[in-house]
Structure 1
Amino acid sequence: MKIRVATYNIHKGVSTIRATPRVLALKKAIGLFDAEVVFLQEVQGKHDKYTSKFGDETRGQRHWPQAAQHDYFAGESHHAAYGMNAIYDHGHHGNALLSAFPIGNMHNHDVSDHAYEQRGILHCMLDTPSGSVHCFVVHLGLFEAGRTRQTEALINCVLASAPAGEPVIIAGDFNDWRNTLSATLRDKLGVTEVFDELGSGSMLGGMVRGLMGTKRKVTPARTFPAALPCFRLDRIYVRGFKVDTAEVLHGPLWAKLSDHAPIVATLKLA
């Protein structure tokens, strides 16, 4: 069985400049992934101010949907799960999973390191034709010490809920710009990052280095900022899958939708 997956930090559905609503364009862009499973971060479950400001029809079109973003993005083709993390007076946001497969159960794990930076890990079990697949949507903190503790919480969560041998996909915004967490995740969980086999964000680069017989450094792809990616923040780790393809989506479309570029990968169940 093949599964196409994507991970994307959508910046709450607003542009980084002037807070222009991008929710309608994001729905179309997410459709371009052609993915059965989409891992989303910074998803607005509720935002009364934006609903009030942009929700009324302008020229026959609403610029902010009345539904929660995860339900709006899911539409009729996907199931949706949402883990509320950050709560404020006018709403809340968190992680979400869109799945073409039924979501058997879900649980949101609070891994906030302090009151000013609320974070969570959303665990969903998918009922696929080939059996259960565990999906973990991740958005780690901005500070390295906190990310280390949150990674330990992630490891404990996976070990407790996904028995050895069951397929696992862990994806999201790790904020791990120095790539200090990958080795721990590989050692403790037996996972592989999707670019491990394909090269550092480039399938062609990995093929060339393989043909030349040169040793390459295993690093994730550059995804931030979307307009000119320099930092390796977003990841897809897998267990029980073979990675067929993986790519970061670049270009003018993605640069204006969010500050992160999305990653899309095609996986084959091992």
Structure 2
Amino acid sequence: MKTITKNALTRALVKFNLAAAVIACSTFAQAGTVQTHTYTDQQAPNWGMQQYGGFAVSPGSTFKVVMTPDASKDLDGESEVSMYVNWDSAPAIFGSKFVCSPSHASNDYYAQEVCELTVPLGVSTAHVGISGFSFFAYHDLTITHEAPKVETFAGPIGNTEWVYKEFPVTPGRGFKVEVTPIIGDDHSETDVYVQFDSQPWYNNYSCKSMLADDLTDVCEIIVPEGAGKAVVGIIGSGFHVSYDAKVTY
């Protein structure tokens, strides 16, 4: 059996008391609505790349970029701009670090370029890069995306106690839960389960995470067709344990 020092016990009790102070406390981010970003009269660097983003995105939603070259500022008649989109990091030409780059005829320098993509599971940000191939490479840019909804909640949880929380969901969209235990001893932890349209249980779940000790459990899943709500179930193991939970959907 491990011996807990007085200092370690004091730190654990402080963490527990702080967590208990926010019982039933939830915070909401103003998100889940379509957002549009417009950039006009932009100049892309010659043989460089102007970066935009990252933009918070929701898996399963649409991310759309429209880039329109400005022919009126092309003083040499050969100005060209190209658009690139990447997930979770800035795009780059070398190494083909992009997920979308529209192609056009080699002599059509002023063709509008469009990237319209479905955000895959596991992605949290989108990045856009515009590269220029002259000193007169000007363009306008419109980016449309849906930021995710984010809710956090926290509280203490007893040994073998279940805590449930419901969330309205949209089929085809991503649903992600992150639960971090705040433990009072070396034998305490939490596990997380997710089920759609019913409460999860040991043998009834669509996703579960059971990492040991103080590691953060993560469940990330696409909402199935026909589902109207997701139910998160958190179960405690041991004594003097609390949790911090974050749900992104």
TM-score normalised according to structure 1 size: 0.24
Higher relative contact order (CA 8 A, sep 6+): 2
Q: Which has the larger radius of gyration?
A: 2
- Which structure shows the bigger proportion of residues in strand conformation? 2
